Structure 1
Amino acid sequence: MRIVLINPPHTAIGSRIPDDHLPPLGLLSVAGPLIDDGHSVSLIDAEFGPMAITEIVGRVVGSHPDLVLIGHSGSTSAHPTARVIAEALKRSNPAIRIVYGGVFPTYHWREVLAETAAFDILVRGEGEETMRRLADCLATGRPLATIPGIAFRDGEGEILATQPAQVIADLDAYRVGWELIDHADYSYWGGKRAVVMQFSRGCPHLCNYCGQRGFWTRWRHRSPELFAREIARLYRQEGVELINLADENPTSSRKAWLAFLEAMIAENVPVQIVGSTRADDIVRDADILHLYRKAGVVRWLIGMENTDEATLTLIKKGGAKTTDREAIRLLRQHDILSMATWVVGFEEERLSDLWRGFRQLLSYDPDQIQALYVTPHRWTPFFRIARDRQVIEADIRKWDYKHQVLKMRHLNPVVLVTCVKLIEVAVQARPKALTRILFHRDRQQRHSMRWYTQMGRRVWFHEILEFLFRRRHLKDGPTLENFWGAPQDAEEESMLRPQRHRKSLDAAE
């Protein structure tokens, strides 16, 4: 079959402001198995430009595809654009079959299929094996009902979903279709040739607001040696300099992570690795952090979410403020940058809470911070807690964590955004931070901090202008439940759990 993959242009600030772009890992992960099965696969990455809808449609139609796949990592906020593309394609050629995958359609499959006839089939959960089976099914004319992990309309227009697909137990059984991209087109951190990769999928922790944990269902990891070997090949053959790990928590298993570090050191390639992890994993690994740095790890984003103990208990974050502070100290000791995420917009927050959070951030002394806004997902337990809160942002393109979407009891949006923007400046421009940016002993770290500061400055002004001139908050908006629908946390796990497997058990070691 001729299959075209589409990465929609994203409206999020993080996609539009930087000059760098990263490859669409999800689509490329699906592409590899399809290519190996003999299908002719091509990619349209509409983030470049970004491409206009007419250009996307023209390129797709010119390819004469049998099947079109649409997906984006920013699943909820990218959905309106994905829908516009699908509808434009159907108007151009109603015979084109369109498959849609990602986190948002995995859970909102009923609503997506009900609101538009443009999507023919939705993939729910991991896509590699499901898409292989689906492509074979469509090529041979077998019934769709035989494929686990999809949703579709039957011949009478009734919306149906098959049983969930099973979690992929062996992540090394599928490869990424890197051949679909020109690596010279993709970069990060100011022009460094870069890719997104996954060492692991899922997370063993129980944070009740996380929209990713249930999607992956179970934490698993790749072979440390094979993963390191793939990174080394990308460096040697494609010139890739930087690896952005898309994992929720790659360090969950100390045993597996240590094996990966040792394998990377043995490969002896000068790549840089950035990603996200938990503060308690950093503290746990205090004795091997020198291996983190030797293997190429140069920055961790640490999800601290909030500095208020009551809020951390509400969202079941786990960890403690003392652990967060110690993790940042340890990272700095080993010349690894720390980026602390700080989430605001909880219903009962007051000015005093923001002031306390600001002082706590100063005491943490992170190298970088990222302020985010509470953004509940219907399939998470936190949604049930927040179900009666009032929605002030009806444009779901803004449900990207960088915009306030829920009303607060004590602070209006003007006060909140003003405080957040001032806190960002005060933390990033404090004398300690500026001294590191200017005089850090590691030249590469100076480069990365200066690049982030430059991007942060551009985003900061963009957010202010957007708030002042391009946002219209609802005064009497619906409740969160009325806006999205009833809580869906009973369906949080999108796939069937695998049978006992050594990789899923390593987290306990």
Structure 2
Amino acid sequence: MPVLRILLINVTHPAIGSRIPDDHLPPLGLLAIGGPLIDDGHEVRLIDADLAPTPTRALVEAVVHFDPDIVLFGHSGSTSGHPVIAEVAAAVARARPDIAIVYGGVYPTYHWREVLLTEPHVTAIVCGEGEETTRRLVRAMAQRQPFDHLPGLAFLSDGRPVRTAPAPLIGNLDAYRIGWELIDHARYSYWGGMRAVVAQFSRGCPHQCTYCGQNLFWKRWRHRDPVAFARELARLHREEGVKVINLADENPTSSRRAWKAFLEALIAEDVDLTLVGSTRAGDIVRDADILHLYRKAGVIRFLLGLENTDAATLERIRKGSTTATDRQAIRLLRRHGIISMATSVVGFREEADRDYWRMLRQLLAYDPDQVQILYATPHRWTPYFDEEADRTTIQPDQRRWDYKHQVLATQQMAPWRVLVWVKFIEAALQCRPKALWRTYLQPDREQRHAMRWYTAMGRRVWPYEIVSFFRERRIRDGPSLRAFWTRTPGRQVAERPEGLPVQEMPAPRMSQLP
């Protein structure tokens, strides 16, 4: 098979989490695509523009200098990152129209019609899991063959967007390796300057919360081989000096058996690793008898998506948890020396002052070590979108749809009032005597470091969010949520049903194929 030059681009992301901290984590999604392509013999390179703000012109110059056959775009912050990807991809197409542009991720998977109609320079969109689909697409391109028969793709055919049948789920996640050699590990850190990577033990989530698209995107929960995953993390520590593992899983603990096997395998590797991630409070309560293994394996913090302190709201969004379980999980984690970060979501339709006051009282009763308040952000592919489709949109800038900005109007609260409550709750929780003691005086050195690092980030993010609020544009009488996400050209869109043929596509634009 001819060897292609493939360039992976991680664009500069506008989100607060990318721009404020000095720490940056590697783009796991692109590395997961890069490994199989390298193993297929292609020449692959990564440009990570998220390490520092990079002007579009500089990115295009780097693309032209490398002279690739294919440029692959993707980003973990898919919705808010799309405008940046769109700008860079269009600039690359203008500079080098012979280069094939491939785009993957959650946002293009669900918005493939709009992307193809407004960005016709995109050669193909990889829908869903990308490892095998991208390999097959690149193989077809290398052999100058049409790819319209391949599952998991969307593209233009005679000016009309079409999508092939969904690609089969990857059954064996260990069949595709991460292309760690594409990065310089010394440039990536987390947890206050500690060398770090993002890793993924599992994909998906067995729960069906209405606001989340994990279940829809990944289809079903799957996990890697626990022993092989532990061995990979240990190698990264021994050979690359990696100290922190940030688990990208939505719910790595879904299977107690698999998670316990991983913890035991990592403990057997005897490496000094720090693990942070997110899980469900119910899993922590379920694992009360093995939480000592969590800590022994290196788990130092788990984010618990509490979402709300109101039982009726939890039931409506199908969270599958209770306030009693949430409170118990936090206490269990503390008992075992593991930091709890509680996330709560605001911006629901009928919230009023009394709801924020209840939230503050409940969070104080929960007594989490850290807290993060997010804004309800109904993406179009979630059931929550249909529930909220008639609500008024107040944030027209898609780059702000990152859970850290209020995007929908609430009936009883002006945006400034919501912000005041959010900042007040955060300050009240983090400035409690208990929280201050845990941050500055507790004897456990590792926990003290974690608390101080998070507090230092908060001191930078907190005023940044307030200043940004007054600088950003909001609209009073914006379109409905449904109208906001259906602003596309009035052109017919065709989707190819499974098993039906489509018109054969010509060979894609390529630069000097061998």
For 1:262, which of 261, 264, 288 is the aligned residue? 264
**Equivalent residue, structure 2, for 1:166:** 168
Partner of 2:51, secondary structure, is: coil
How far off is 1:306 after superposition? 0.4
**Equivalent residue, structure 2, for 1:475:** 476
What CA distance in whole angstroms lies between the structure 2 residues aligned with 1:127 and 1:201?
A: 13
Q: Confirm whether residue 406 of structure 1 aligns to residue 404 of structure 2.
A: no
* 1:332-372: CA deviation from partner (whole Å, max 9, x where unpaired): 00000000001000001110000000000000000000110
Name the % identity.
63
Give the AA of the match of 2:382. Answer: T
What CA distance in whole angstroms lies between the structure 2 residues aligned with 1:460 and 1:208?
A: 29
**Equivalent residue, structure 1, for 2:152:** 149
CA RMSD of aligned residues (A): 0.9
For 1:58, which of 47, 61, 67 is the aligned residue? 61
What CA distance in whole angstroms lies between the structure 2 residues aligned with 1:456 and 1:118?
A: 41
Give the AA of the match of 2:400. Answer: K
What CA distance in whole angstroms lies between the structure 2 residues aligned with 1:370 and 1:147?
A: 42
For 1:331, which of 325, 330, 333 is the aligned residue? 333
**Equivalent residue, structure 1, for 2:510:** none
Give the AA of the match of 2:473. Answer: R
How far off is 1:309 after superposition? 1.1
The runs of 5 or more residues in structure 1 that have no matched partner are: 487-495, 497-509
How far off is 1:447 after superposition? 0.7
How far off is 1:281 after superposition? 0.2
What CA distance in whole angstroms lies between the structure 1 residues aligned with 2:125 and 2:442?
A: 48
Q: How many residues align?
A: 485
**Equivalent residue, structure 2, for 1:423:** 425
For 2:349, which of 334, 347, 365 is the aligned residue? 347
Partner of 2:148, secondary structure, is: helix
Partner of 1:99, secondary structure, is: strand
Q: Confirm whether residue 364 of structure 1 aligns to residue 341 of structure 2.
A: no
How far off is 1:451 after superposition? 0.5
Partner of 1:146, secondary structure, is: coil
Question: Are the counterparts in 2 of residues 193 and 240 from structure 1 also a CA contact under 8 Å?
Answer: yes
**Equivalent residue, structure 2, for 1:28:** 31
**Equivalent residue, structure 1, for 2:15:** 12
What CA distance in whole angstroms lies between the structure 1 residues aligned with 2:39 and 2:374?
A: 40
What CA distance in whole angstroms lies between the structure 2 residues aligned with 1:331 and 1:118?
A: 50
For 2:224, which of 219, 222, 225 is the aligned residue? 222
**Equivalent residue, structure 1, for 2:504:** none
Partner of 1:160, secondary structure, is: strand
**Equivalent residue, structure 2, for 1:39:** 42
Matches within 5 A, 1:20-419: 20-154=23-157, 156-419=158-421
**Equivalent residue, structure 2, for 1:456:** 458
How far off is 1:152 after superposition? 0.5
How far off is 1:213 after superposition? 2.3
How far off is 1:445 after superposition? 1.1
The runs of 5 or more residues in structure 2 that have no matched partner are: 488-497, 499-514
What CA distance in whole angstroms lies between the structure 1 residues aligned with 2:159 and 2:321?
A: 49
How far off is 1:117 after superposition? 1.8
How far off is 1:440 after superposition? 2.0
Question: Are the counterparts in 2 of residues 378 and 485 from structure 1 also a CA contact under 8 Å?
Answer: no
How far off is 1:485 after superposition? 2.9
Give the AA of the match of 2:18. Answer: S
What CA distance in whole angstroms lies between the structure 2 residues aligned with 1:141 and 1:172?
A: 29
* 1:286-344: CA deviation from partner (whole Å, max 9, x where unpaired): 00000000001000000000001111111110110000000000000000000000100
What CA distance in whole angstroms lies between the structure 2 residues aligned with 1:51 and 1:482?
A: 33
What CA distance in whole angstroms lies between the structure 1 residues aligned with 2:26 and 2:208?
A: 29
Question: Are the counterparts in 1 of residues 120 and 156 from structure 2 also a CA contact under 8 Å?
Answer: no
* 1:392-427: CA deviation from partner (whole Å, max 9, x where unpaired): 001010000000000000001010001101110000
* 1:452-497: CA deviation from partner (whole Å, max 9, x where unpaired): 00001100000000012x11211110100111139xxxxxxxxx9x
Question: Are the counterparts in 2 of residues 34 and 132 from structure 1 also a CA contact under 8 Å?
Answer: yes
Give the AA of the match of 1:471. Answer: E
Question: Are the counterparts in 1 of residues 278 and 303 from structure 2 also a CA contact under 8 Å?
Answer: yes
What CA distance in whole angstroms lies between the structure 1 residues aligned with 2:214 and 2:13?
A: 19
What CA distance in whole angstroms lies between the structure 2 residues aligned with 1:32 and 1:51?
A: 25
How far off is 1:441 after superposition? 2.3
What CA distance in whole angstroms lies between the structure 2 residues aligned with 1:40 and 1:68?
A: 12
What CA distance in whole angstroms lies between the structure 1 residues aligned with 2:359 and 2:347?
A: 12
How far off is 1:212 after superposition? 2.4
What CA distance in whole angstroms lies between the structure 1 residues aligned with 2:452 and 2:13?
A: 25
Give the AA of the match of 2:164. Answer: T
Partner of 1:68, secondary structure, is: strand
Partner of 1:145, secondary structure, is: coil
Give the AA of the match of 2:120. Answer: A
What CA distance in whole angstroms lies between the structure 1 residues aligned with 2:430 and 2:486?
A: 39
What CA distance in whole angstroms lies between the structure 1 residues aligned with 2:160 and 2:311?
A: 47
- Give the 4+ runs in structure 1 shifted more than 4 A: none
How far off is 1:211 after superposition? 2.4
What CA distance in whole angstroms lies between the structure 1 residues aligned with 2:230 and 2:47?
A: 28
Partner of 1:144, secondary structure, is: coil
Partner of 2:102, secondary structure, is: strand
* 1:197-245: CA deviation from partner (whole Å, max 9, x where unpaired): 0000000001011022211111000000000000000000000000000
**Equivalent residue, structure 2, for 1:499:** none
Partner of 1:54, secondary structure, is: helix
* 1:95-142: CA deviation from partner (whole Å, max 9, x where unpaired): 111000000000000000011223111000000000000000101122
What CA distance in whole angstroms lies between the structure 1 residues aligned with 2:461 and 2:247?
A: 22
Give the AA of the match of 1:20. Answer: D
